[in-house]
Amino acid sequence: MTRVAHWGTFEVANLGDLLFPLVLEHHLRAADGEVEVQWVGPLGGTAPMGLERAVARALPFEHEGFWQQASTVDAFVLGGGDLVHNAEIVIERAGAPDRIAFAPFATDLGLLAEVRPVAWNGVGVPVDVPDALAPLLRAATASVDLLAVRDEASRSRLEAAGVERPVDVVPDTAVLIDDVVPRQVRAQAIERLRADRRVPGPGEPLVVAHLSFATPAVLEATAAALAAVAHTRPTARFVLVALGETHGDGATLRSLAERVGPSASVVANPSVEEAVAVLAHGDVVVSTSYHAVLLATALGVPAAQFRHAAYRPAKHDALAGVLGRERWLLERPADIATAVDALLDGAGPPDAKRIACMRRGAEAHLRRVAAVVVLGRRPGVDLAERTAAHRHVVARLAARADAESALRADVALLREHHDRAVARATDVEAAYLQAHDLLAAGDGNTSGARPI
């Protein structure tokens, strides 16, 4: 049994992030049936959207158990998704905000590559690598067995950061969605949604729409565009599917449905199977989501991707280019109505040859990942010894953190004393000036007055 830890499984409801481990697991087992994939994310918990899979927490270098998390696995796989950067984001989890730091995906997993095989699974590098991260990234990639990113821009950013290892560009593995959510499963999911009256029955033109990260102005503009489609096509129906509840999609789409009117319905909190089924069931898909457009196109549904003032990631351009759908990358919500009308009339069908080529590329890449994970554990590595040495490093880091906390507390106390002293001095100065003014007023001549 080969045990693989998949780093980058997110424990929050976001369709694209949850597809990567599913596709990876399917293809690793197809290559070698004796494979067990452990899902690992930044927080730990349970994978949502109907998956109910345990997700372990990725322990950062500062944790004393850092090296021991390699003791139960034979290899690591990173991503896909936009994981190689050092930003932090705040997400909603269990109804409360939580914070995710991304740097450990690139840097800390690179350290674990010293003891176990590691493959990058078509990850994204969404922004230029900052100077502070570049040397850490160069060191972290030195031992990685397979560096694979999902677009040319990501490769260019790694090369600009000084990464000298070969970097492959591979298709996003979500293009293989039909392998993990096949046609029969999608049909069953649609029947359940119809029975629950969450999607309309057959017969009318169906527009599947999705919107994330919307400001009030963007929400109004998107509603106006969909309403314009409803005006020109009175029989059209709109299904608004929440692909990222962690981004607040449910609330956004309910507001959008209220503005569009009775022709719109919302599929909130869908399972992975339901979300994919809805995308595959539409006559047209229009969305701000990278993966909504990729999945729809892979499943033969014409799709338009639109940007707005609050959400314009560079990965949209890369996806439009690889799919040959630059015409259908819309710059603003106001462009939706014209695009949807054209797509419903038969313009812009998916390019089946491109999709077939992407599938072959993704399958070839996953075969290479499968070859990496069976390389075996690095020879001459004593994890117990590393862990023992690491405890001293962690202890020093903890002591330094405690010292910094104490210094910050001292600085805060000094600042408080300083502020009080300034306040007292200000009061004394005000009293001094007031007394001086009174003396001056008493003799009518300030030239001879002396302050007390």
Q: Give yes or no for residue 447 having a pLDDT over 50.
A: no
Share above pLDDT 70 across residues of the chain, in percent, rounded to a whole number: 93
- At residue 399, the pLDDT reads 67
Residue whose token pair is 């313009």: 347
Q: Which element (helix H / strand E) includes 78?
A: strand 75-78
pLDDT at 415: 83
Average pLDDT, rounded, for the chain: 90
- Is residue 73 within 8 A of residue 116, CB to CB? The reply is yes
Residues 16-41 have a mean pLDDT of 93
- 440 token code pair: 């001056």
Q: Which residues pair with 101 in a beta bridge?
A: 88
Outline where 98-210 has alpha helix (H).
103-112, 134-141, 152-160, 177-180, 183-195
Please report the pLDDT score of residue 444 as a whole number.
53
- Residue 332 is given by DSSP the state S
Bridge partners, residue 306, by sequence = 330
User: Which two structure tokens, joined as six digits, stand for 370?
Assistant: 């499968």
What's the CATH fold of domain 181-350?
Rossmann fold (3.40.50)
Q: Provide the edge-to-edge strand list for the sheet that holds 53-57.
A: 45-47, 53-57, 35-41, 2-7, 75-78, 118-120
- Taking only the tens place, the pLDDT of each residue in 77-133 is 999 899 988 877 776 666 776 677 778 888 899 999 999 999 999 999 999 998 988
β-bridge partners, 81: 123
Average pLDDT over residues 20-39: 93
- pLDDT (0 to 100) of residue 395: 62
Min mean pLDDT across 10-19, 183-192, 212-221, 283-292 is at 10-19
State the Cα–Cα distance between residues 452 and 436, nearest whole angstrom.
7
At position 352, the amino acid (one-letter code) is: A
3-class secondary structure for 5-32? EEECCCCCCCHHHHHHHHHHHHHHHHHC
Which residues, including other chains, have CB under 8 Å from residue 233's CB and lie 6 or more apart? Answer: 205, 341, 344
pLDDT of residue 452: 43
The full length of the chain comes to: 452
Q: How confident is the model at residue 448 (pLDDT cuts 50, 70, 90)?
A: very low
Tell me the β-bridge partners of 35.
2
In the chain, what is the greatest distance between 2 CA atoms, to the nearest angstrom? 104
- Are the CB atoms for 365 and 122 separated by under 8 Å? yes
Q: How confident is the model at residue 392 (pLDDT cuts 50, 70, 90)?
A: low
Tell how far CA 7 is from the center of its chain: 13
pLDDT for 446: 46
DSSP symbols for 250-312: HHHHHHHHHHH-TTEEEE-S--HHHHHHHHHH-SEEEES-HHHHHHHHHTT--EEEE-BTTB-
Q: What is the pLDDT of residue 142?
A: 94
Cis? peptide before 250, omega within 30° of 0: no
With CA atoms as reference, report the closest residue to 47 among 87, 26, 72, 20: 20
Could you tell me if residue 317 is left (phi over 0), alpha (psi between -120 and 50 degrees) or otherwise beta?
alpha
The radius of gyration of the chain from alpha carbons, rounded to an integer in Å, stands at 28
- Model-wide pTM > 0.85: no
Percent helix, strand, coil in the chain (nearest 5)? 50, 15, 35
Angle between helices 290-298 and 315-323 (to 10 degrees): 10
Interatomic CA distance for residues 206 and 294, integer angstroms: 18
C-alpha dist (Å) from residue 380 to 115, 239, 448: 9, 57, 91
Q: Which CATH architecture has domain 2-169+359-381?
A: 3-Layer(aba) Sandwich (3.40)
Q: Provide the 10 A C-beta neighbour count for residue 235.
A: 9
Higher confidence at residue 45 or residue 420? 45
Mean pLDDT lowest among 37-41, 68-72, 93-97, 203-207: 93-97
pLDDT (tens digit per residue) in 149-192: 999 999 999 999 999 999 999 999 999 999 999 999 999 999 99
Q: What is the pLDDT of residues 318-365, one digit of tens each?
A: 999 999 999 999 999 999 999 999 999 999 999 999 999 999 999 999
Ramachandran quadrant class, 346 (left: phi over 0; alpha: psi -120 to 50; beta: rest): left
Model confidence pLDDT, tens digit, residues 352-372: 999 999 999 999 999 999 999
**CA–CA–CA angle 354, 186, 307 (5° rounding):** 55
Supply the pLDDT for residue 262. Answer: 94
If DSSP codes are grouped into helix, strand and coil, which group holds residue 75?
strand
